[in-house]
Amino acid sequence: MDNIIESKVSQWLGGQFDTDTVATIKKLQQENPDELADAFYRSLEFGTGGLRGIMGVGTNRMNKYTVGMSTQGFANYLKQAFTGEIKLAIAHDSRNNSRYFAEVAANVLAANGIKVYLFESLRPTPELSFTIRHLGCQGGIVLTASHNPKEYNGYKAYWNDGAQLVPPHDKNVIREVEKISSIDEVKWSGGEANITPIGKEVDEAYLQELKNLSIQPEVIKEQHDLKIVYTPIHGTGITLAPEILKRYGFTNVHVVEEQATPDGNFPTVVYPNPEEAEAMSLGLKKAKELDAAILLGTDPDSDRVGIAVKDLKGEWTLLNGNQTAVLLFNYIIEGRKRKGLAGDTDYVCKTVVTSDLIDVFAAKNNVNCYNVLTGFKWIADLIKRKEGKEKFICGGEESYGYMIGDNVRDKDAIASVALICEMAAYARSQGRSLYEQLIDIYVNYGYYKENLISITKKGMKGADEIAEMMRGYRENPPTTINGSKVATLYDYELQQVKNLKTGEVKPIDLPRSNVLQFVLEDGSKISARPSGTEPKIKFYFSVNQPLEKAADFDAVTKSLDQRVQDIIKDMKLK
């Protein structure tokens, strides 16, 4: 164990830490020095999205002290940025210690003279975003690690627009957090009178906003008995998803009971992530038993939703985030046109790694489609900059997150569950399944097929290995991939796009981000992006070709899948 780690361990053993923390450190010294080193080799970074890490003792773990120090830094910046009364809302998910961490954060803020609205019990992350604007708060915090495994927890910080922090506030908060070098600098208690519990009254306001998002309520009235299966995967969705479906008018909703109870141990799954087939397996079983029309599953903090529908052979299939986004965006754009709601200033927004098919059909429908960096804070930032000039309709990203309307400034699985079911009801009213509707979109606009692989690099060396991979791609970019020349290189870190044939370089008008995209002459696109919350580097693949008729769907699917696999093989990623 090096001297820096030993010094940090000594500080925790000699400081004003609780007896359980000290006892755990001493036990690790005796029984697991490698784990102790990992717990102290660095400080858990308060990044632009807040904190996320494994729970436990140490500077590199989620615990009372790292949460308290981060909250003190956040409080210090809030008091610099605002004058007069400062108000902040706090919510949490179903994870182990989430309530405890929420109370720690509330106590620290209150002790700093900040008025805190603390939800009485677990609530979805999007409701926290709504609450900030609804109660006129200057910021917010939600305790969640989203879809990470059960040993993780996290802390997301929000600003007064209901969105996660963007420049300059993100870096300014990080700077203030980094100034807190000791737990002795934290105001742990003394302001309890500044904490106000909130609950059902805010739920009611949020649900009413979601009810107003319905585009074709008359279709739901006609198709109210659409058979829906829903699973909250032991998370916060159980608090509001069944209720919003009821208020929309759906009368045939079935909850997966084995996963209905909030539980931070997530006993029925390995990963509480609706992107994973394993997490949706109990829901699929119930959907098959009931011969349902659609299955929906939300992650622990209910900002992401996954769905499953029957394919052309009547077999259940999980749609990926791009496919759901394509269906949802298309339904909203075309539904607004059918109802006479569309306007000249309507726009949608997606991230640069989300399906380009959305750009294609948005343009054909005279709707602007803006592309931003990964993360809903950038969609929210665009909404703020365009307020009063253009009308935001919906936004989304390939990682199963969608935002409908602008009253919530983060991805919202509760709203998405409602609109996706309305979308399924409309398809049924037309004698179509959602799967058939997806193929119709491909026939009309082109078949875009996407894939994603994540390469995990754990431990102390992982970050360095990922950085080296990106450095190699940036300094020595491939000239061909899978036999097709690289036509264009997008470097979001350098904020430039380069035509590799002509050498022409143009600026990218987006903030810096460590993302590279290779666009090939055959239309394929490969994106490389290190995760901001996990020790992973993600590679996104997009390939496309025309689909002349629905009967060709299987053959074209096979061809596009093979192209993706050939690209992965050529890039030596597997």
Q: Report DSSP letters for 393-416, one per residue.
A: EEEEETTTEEEESSSS-S--HHHH
- Cα 360 to chain centroid distance, Å, stands at 24
For 297, left (φ over 0), alpha (ψ -120 to 50), or beta? beta
| Residue 313: other Cβ atoms inside 10 A | 8
Beta-carbon contacts of 295 under 8 Å, excluding residues fewer than 6 positions away, are 229, 230, 231, 280, 283, 284, 286, 287, 307, 308, 309, 316
Helix (H, G, I), strand (E, B) or coil at 276: coil
Catalytic-labelled residue, pool 146, 214, 355, 399: 146
Written in H, E and C, the secondary structure of 203-224 is HHHHHHHHHCCCCCHHHHHHCC
* Contact assessment for residue 202 and residue 240, using Cβ atoms and an 8 Å cutoff: no
Identify which of 522, 315, 301, 547 has the alpha carbon closest to the alpha carbon of residue 435: 315
Catalytic residue list contains 146:
yes
Residue linked to tokens 């805190």: 116
Residues 333, 335, 336, 338: is their CA dihedral positive or negative?
positive
In Å, what is the CA distance from 34 to each residue of 11, 43, 241, 459, 464?
Answer: 18, 16, 43, 11, 19
* Contact assessment for residue 98 and residue 152, using Cβ atoms and an 8 Å cutoff: no
Any idea which residues carry the catalytic annotation?
Answer: 146
